[in-house]
Amino acid sequence: MREVAVIGVGMTKWGELWEKSLRTIFVESSLLALDDAGVDKIDSMYVGSMSSGIFVGQEHIASMLADYLGQAPVPSTRVETACASGGLALRLGFMEVASGMSDVVLVGGVEKMTDVNGHEATYALGTAADQEYEGYHGITFPGLYALIARAHMEKYRTTREQLAMVAVKNHRNGAKNPLAQFPFEVTVDAVLNSVMVADPLRILDCSPITDGAAALILCPVEMARKMKKPVVKITGTGHATDTIALNHRKDITWLEATFQAAKQAYAMANKKPEDIDFLEVHDCFTIAEICVIEALGLVEKGKGGKAYEDEITSLEGKIPVNTSGGLKSKGHPVGATGAAQVIEIVKQLRGEAGERQLKNPKVGLAQNMGGSGGSAVVHIFEKE
């Protein structure tokens, strides 16, 4: 199996992009990635997208995006596993390069979520939950994560203030990211007094509805060296699933799919949690980030909330989490999130993260999650 490098990244500013179409934002980000990589031709492409049919009425986007990018007739595949679609697209692209089937592969993600009203967007996102056992009874994704939050608070004495600290930290980081949808800081008081969405979660605990795309270019490490590109290697990858419905899990505060995917990635990369210098994780809600760092083995089970009180996940902390601002501040165009997480990892490892740049990071981890944790993808990256 060949070693695989990320040699190009591309992303434009996320937000409510009324004047642009789904194909436009994908092509813009992909052209930036191609330019960054110094290539103009690819062998194949994988595109993560969760619900383009509901959001913009367009299916069969694999063909359309290859065409508008000027890359047809290359093989192009759309990948869907809810909000982890972008992460799984990366895994498939990695496998294609590692196997030797292709040398240059474009991996991307895209979602255009603001072309529908709030009710329709809520419905689209809700399709990632169990429709018979959850959706039919009226629960939404904020409601599902509110159940997780309440259970975590009752079981581990996690506080409402600790949840708010996740949002405060991510907005502090996002304020340093010019591509973020909401690049401004918030306070604990602001989070605690924002509009209630699903008790105990308030609007500032929730990631936004976002239009956006992100793209990566992969190739064999040997090719990257010959091209004299900065080499960021994908040294570990893991993918796992769990029950889609919360009521079928033994413990709704534990993200088993994330734990299992991380176990695979750590083993493949020959790493342990303490070897990771920084992370981009799936903070669709503040409670999600707390549960994720526990499942990844960064803190003891049940101690996630305390980690934010102790500020170990800040830019200056022992293990910085979501230096980009995360889904909370950067935005969450669901199919594109997994690819955008990798862009932050690559920028940090290259030393190109601007104001939020960490001091000489060497190993990064990206965790992308679908639905309420029914699927998860974890990748580990190292600079050469």
Q: Consecutive sets of 10 residues in the chain, 384 residues long: mean pLDDT of each?
A: 98 97 98 97 98 96 98 98 98 98 98 93 91 90 96 98 98 98 98 98 98 98 95 98 96 98 98 98 98 98 97 97 98 98 98 97 98 97 96
- In 3D space, the residue among 11, 3, 29 whose CA is nearest the CA of residue 352 turns out to be 11
On whether the CB atoms of residues 293 and 306 are closer than 8 A, the answer is no
Report the pLDDT value the prediction gives residue 175, as an integer from 0 to 100.
Answer: 98
d(CA 206, CA 254): 19
* Tokens (6 digits) for 22: 């789904």
d(CA 48, CA 81): 8
* SS3 category, 299: coil
Q: Which of 60, 83, 248, 291 is catalytic?
A: 83
Q: Which of 152, 171, 282, 332 is catalytic?
A: 332
Report the pLDDT value the prediction gives residue 119, as an integer from 0 to 100.
Answer: 86
Angle 286-295/160-174 helices, nearest 10 degrees? Answer: 90
* SS3 category, 277: coil
The answer to whether residue 332 is catalytic is: yes
Of the chain, the end-to-end C-alpha distance in Å amounts to: 18
**Per-position DSSP letters for 300-353, written without gaps between them:** -TT-HHHHHHTTTTSTTSSS-B-TT-HHHHH---TTTHHHHHHHHHHHHHHT--
On whether the CB atoms of residues 336 and 48 are closer than 8 A, the answer is yes
Report the pLDDT value the prediction gives residue 66, as an integer from 0 to 100.
Answer: 98
Domains and CATH numbers, the chain: 4-117+210-232 (3.40.47.10), 143-206+236-379 (3.40.47.10)
Reported pTM = 0.97
